[in-house]
Amino acid sequence: MDFLSLAMNTAKSLGADYADIRIQRSSTEMIFLRNLSLKNTSLNEIYGYGIRVFKNGAWGFAHNNVFTEDAINKTVKKALVIAKESGRVKYGNGLTLAHERGYIDSYKTPFNLDPFDVPLSEKVEMMMGTNKTMLSFAEIKRAVFMLECRKDEKLFASTLGSRLDLQTLYIEPTITATAVTETDSQSRTFSQGGQARGWEWVQSLNLADKAVQISEEAIMKVHAGSLGAEERKTLLLDPNHMALTMHESVGHPTELDRVLGWEADFAGISFATPEKIGNFQYGSKIVNFVANNKLEGGLATAGYDDEGVPNQKWYIIKDGILQEYGNTRATAPIIGLEMSRGCNRATNYFDFPINRIPNLYLEPGKELLTPQELIADTDNGIYIEGRGSFSIDQHRVNFQFGGDMFWEIKNGKKVRPLKKILYKSNNPEFWNSVDAICDDRSFQTFGVTNCGKGQPGQRGRMTHGGSLARFRNIRVGGSQ
Amino acid sequence: MITRQEMQKAADFIRNHVKADDFNFSIGGAEELFTRFAQNGITQHIAGDKINVNLNVSFENKTGEASSNNLKEDALKHLIKTAESMAKLNQPDPEFVASEPAHDLPDVDNFSRKTADLKVEKIVDDILKCVKNAEGKNAKLSGISEKRIQNSFLTTKNGFEGFDQSTSFAHSMTMKREGVETKVSRSVKDHSKFNLDELIGQLNSQFGSLKNPVQIETGKIPVILRPAAVLNWLFYLIWTYDRRTADEGHTPFTDQIGKQFFGKDFTFRSRLDDPDLEASKFDNGGIPAENIDWIENGVIKNMSADRYYARQNNLKALRPYNIIVEGGETSEAEMMRIVKRGVIVNNFWYIRPVDRKTGEWTGLTRDGVLYFEDGKIQKSLTNFRWNEILHKATKRILALGPVVQQEYYAKIPTLLIDDFNFIDVTTF
Ligand SMILES: [Zn+2]
């Protein structure tokens, strides 16, 4: 008998109300290059399985890396024993699971060139070339290239009869140039985050050109001025920067487990409580946030989540109003929902799946508008590119963000670079201040691969996106 | 879980089959139990053993590294093949350092039988006790109990061999009712030194002191930072406290080694001989742990350095393996009389660098903020955001409390700091 069937049969025979097994092989190649020194060139492969057992409204989860019938049976039993222990301190009258059916299906990230088939020598050579380009600028003292390629191969089975074969892949190249003077050190990064695409995507990025651009901008930045005390100003935020702001201020507060207080001890809770669904003005009327786990290239796109719920597309915020959350089979019923949106994901085989942010993006503006036109339409503002300092409270209300590159806009033109810029805002003021969003011609996506959440901590991934957007009357100034 | 004998056997296999000029082979084994609860019920329960097998090889100065979670001979053969073929395809590393030779390792005991023998039934009993306490206050409790046993083994081509076994138990809980939420957490290496009743008492005391939080104006104000807050900040100090990044001009510590850079009351050490604290015997490169004075009376004595940078600059390769901040004798009640008014902060949250060069950081308060005036607590406050150059804040330390064991790797005092820079408030 195959291990999937064995585990499910054992779980049923021992009296589990529900059980699933996820056999997962995760391969990660990391190459970390700093000033032509290879700080890390490694391939990590971990392979094992995790078994969830649901009994009397409580969970137990056990994992193992030994693939024998005996080990499978023991692991099922261990999960059941601790599920029964969990049942001694029940959540309410016990958890219930949203309705779902079994699926027999497979999914594979579409790509042409498997990054694991590209010879290491070719990758290192490309990275060295980029590093040398950056270091050829006299004031660039640190050049970093970090490349991560990850592949997850999963076989999933549940007592609902599901049999899933899911293979996902992503690549994340990041290059950073740091310029140093007598008194300051400032860096500039090129990254589109991780993308679920093949090596052909990396080849299309023109990293050699990007290395020149970020080196020049890092030097510009280290010599740039800053702003004085905080003032209310207009902000233009590029999609790369907004990927982070939406992650923190829309993605996390609309995870149903946070809303319910399941993360209260660590990641925090959420101001976006259930009575706000359908009536809370989260953003201005042109603000629409779409959750889309079918997004091509999206890091949460996997066919199904890690409890066998199909990937879906829905609105989190529609015409500015909070519509729905991302949720899981155990959280959805608590607010009266019948079905899960399929946001339960785990990082490695030994991780218990938790409520994760889906692929989530700001819908492009419906009226034709290019970034050039939006800049031209702005009298006095700050244009922010890329990700920098970010901090948000544990209810996801008050936040402060920096960025990677800043430009002052006067009379419709970028007039000078700036550094050390911070803005402060809060929910719901921030997304309600949006008065213009560029159209879909400039829509871009950015993958987040290091979303820390859970106890024990897991590293989650998802994709965000948008087009250049304008925010009015935001508190912005220079740092100390 | 994996035994030392099994680790040794795998090491012998590696030694006999590696063709590379040099290697560094490590195995980490762990047996873990995580019992997580939220809203007065257990929501997640994880049990299992983990293993991490790592091989780093080099041909001259070309390196390759492979890791897996499998110790079978076939898997080890695959590990060697992967690491060696990566090294052959790689380019030379100008900062390559040969593996460590044999070293005498410090005589430290990081293992507790009491922790290792802890049963899931006892952990759940204790969680039930905590939940009952919260229910008695009409409050909701969320948190986690974590039990860990770890084995680590390292051997190198050049003769290093080390084995360490450690245990830890951690318990944290956040209690919430309407607008009041607060948290306590503690971790120990020896479970018999974990006092649940005392921790519940601390939780109830913090919870009881917080009522209907109100906003006050932001600005510079004296602050009493309780140990959890101080430790949270220290993680971020340690993150940037590196000799090379300082020498290369990226941090505020450039050219400050040996100088009075922090406040004179600020002393930070790592110690092998504190029986309560874990001190892992060697790091992943095979450098044995030793007593280290990082900052003494505000003077920068040592900074972290990796093996390459240490060798290059005639320094010792160092890393913080535990955290001891020297305390004083001032009680919190006495601190409240040293300044006219101020705030008490239980913990910080979401600390991030604002400017790495100046050493400015941002963060928020968490788990309850209290306002005191004329020696007495007057009211609870909503949370603040702060932007502060933290090393400069140590120059404004007015008093230090006695050290307490906050984690199995940290002993930390309460600090009274003048003029802490609160710049914004949040709504709760
Ligand atoms: Zn996140």
| Distance from the B40 Cα atom to the nearest Cα atom in chain A, whole angstroms | 6
Which one, of A221, A213, A216, A210, lies nearest residue A186 by Cα? Answer: A221
Cα separation of B253 and B245, whole Å? 9
pLDDT of residue A480: 82
ipTM: 0.96
Task: Tell me the backbone φ, ψ of residue B85, rounded to 5 degrees.
Answer: -70, -30
Element (H, E) at B187: strand B180-188
Mark yes or no for CB contact B350/A394 under 8 Å.
yes
Test B385 with A271 for CB contact under 8 angstroms. no
Is B140 within 8 Å of A59 when comparing Cβ atoms? no
How many angstroms is it from B168 CA to the middle of ligand 1?
27
**Which amino acid is it at A183?**
T
pTM, rounded to two decimals = 0.97
Domains of chain B: 4-194 (3.30.2290.10), 209-234+327-425 (no CATH)
- For B355, which of A43, A87, A479 is closest by C-beta distance? A479
Instruction: Read off the pLDDT of residues A43-82 as tens digits, 9 standing for 90 and up.
Output: 999 999 999 999 999 999 999 999 999 999 999 999 999 9
3-state secondary structure at position B132:
helix
Least Cα distance to A284 among A432, A88, A129 occurs for A432
CB B75 within 8 A of CB B68: yes
Q: How far is A44 from chain B (nearest CA, A)?
A: 5
Low-confidence spans in chain A with pLDDT less than 70: 1
Q: What is the pLDDT along chain B (428 residues), one digit of tens a residue?
A: 899 999 999 999 999 999 999 999 999 999 999 999 999 999 999 999 999 999 999 999 999 999 999 999 999 999 999 999 999 999 999 999 999 999 999 999 999 999 999 999 999 999 999 999 999 999 999 999 999 999 999 999 999 999 999 999 999 999 999 999 999 999 999 999 999 999 999 999 999 999 999 999 999 999 999 999 999 999 999 999 999 999 999 999 999 999 999 999 999 999 999 999 999 999 999 999 999 999 999 999 999 999 999 999 999 999 999 999 999 999 999 999 999 999 999 999 999 999 999 999 999 999 999 999 999 999 999 999 999 999 999 999 999 999 999 999 999 999 999 999 999 999 99
Average pLDDT of chain A is 97
Residue-wise pLDDT tens digits, A226-271: 999 999 999 999 999 999 999 999 999 999 999 999 999 999 999 9
Give the closest residue to A380 by CA, choosing from A349, A339, A410.
Answer: A410
Alpha helices in A87-237 (DSSP H): 120-135, 199-203, 207-222
Contact yes or no for B94 and A36 at CB 8 A? yes
Structure tokens at A133: 């380009």
CA distance A395 to chain B (A): 8
The pair of three-digit structure tokens given for residue A161, joined into one six-digit string: 């009869």
A451 CA distance to ligand 1 middle (Å): 4
For A471, which DSSP code?
Answer: E
Cβ neighbour number for residue B43 with a 10 Å cutoff = 26
Residues from chain B contacting residue A36 (CB–CB below 8 Å): 94
Query: Using an 8 Å Cβ cutoff, are A82 and B120 in contact?
Result: yes
DSSP, residue by residue, B302-323: --BB-HHHHHHTT---B--SSE
Find, in chain A, the residue whose alpha carbon is nearest to that of B38. Answer: A262
Q: Which two tokens stand for residue B289?
A: 């742990």
Q: Which domains does chain A have, with CATH numbers?
A: 3-222 (3.30.2290.10), 231-478 (no CATH)
Mutate to test the interface with B, among A43, A47, A227 (most CBs of B within 10 A): A43
Q: Which amino acid is at A127?
A: M
* Cβ-count burial B346-369 (b if 16+ within 10 Å, e if not): bbbbbbbbbbbbbbbbbbbbbbbb
Under 8 Å between Cβ of A52 and A20:
yes
Whether residue A428 has a cis bond before it, omega within 30° of 0: yes
Q: Which of B96, B215, B236, B355 to mutate: most A Cβ within 10 Å? A: B355
Q: Residue A316: left if φ>0, alpha if ψ -120 to 50, beta else—which one? A: alpha
Q: Strand, coil or helix: what is A276?
A: helix
Asked if A479 and B66 come within 8 Å (Cβ–Cβ), the reply is no
Which among B94, B143, B172 is the nearest to A37, CB-wise? B94
Query: Tokens for B356?
Result: 């790495």
Cβ–Cβ below 8 Å for B38 and A262: yes
The answer to whether B160 and B97 are in contact (CB under 8 A) is no
Q: Is the peptide bond before A119 cis (omega within 30 degrees of 0)?
A: no
Please tell me which of the candidates B41, B49, B362 has its beta carbon nearest to residue A400. Answer: B362
Task: Look at the block and give the residue holding tokens 């499998």.
Answer: B70
Q: Which of A89, A96, A248, A394 to mutate to test the interface with B (most CBs of B within 10 A)?
A: A89
Return the sign of the alpha-carbon dihedral for residues A192, A198, A204, A209: positive
Which of B127, B128, B172 is nearest residue A265 as measured by Cβ atoms?
B172
Structure tokens at A239: 């999609």
Contacts of A262 in chain B (CB under 8 A): 38-39, 43, 142
B308 and B95 Cβ atoms separated by less than 8 Å: yes
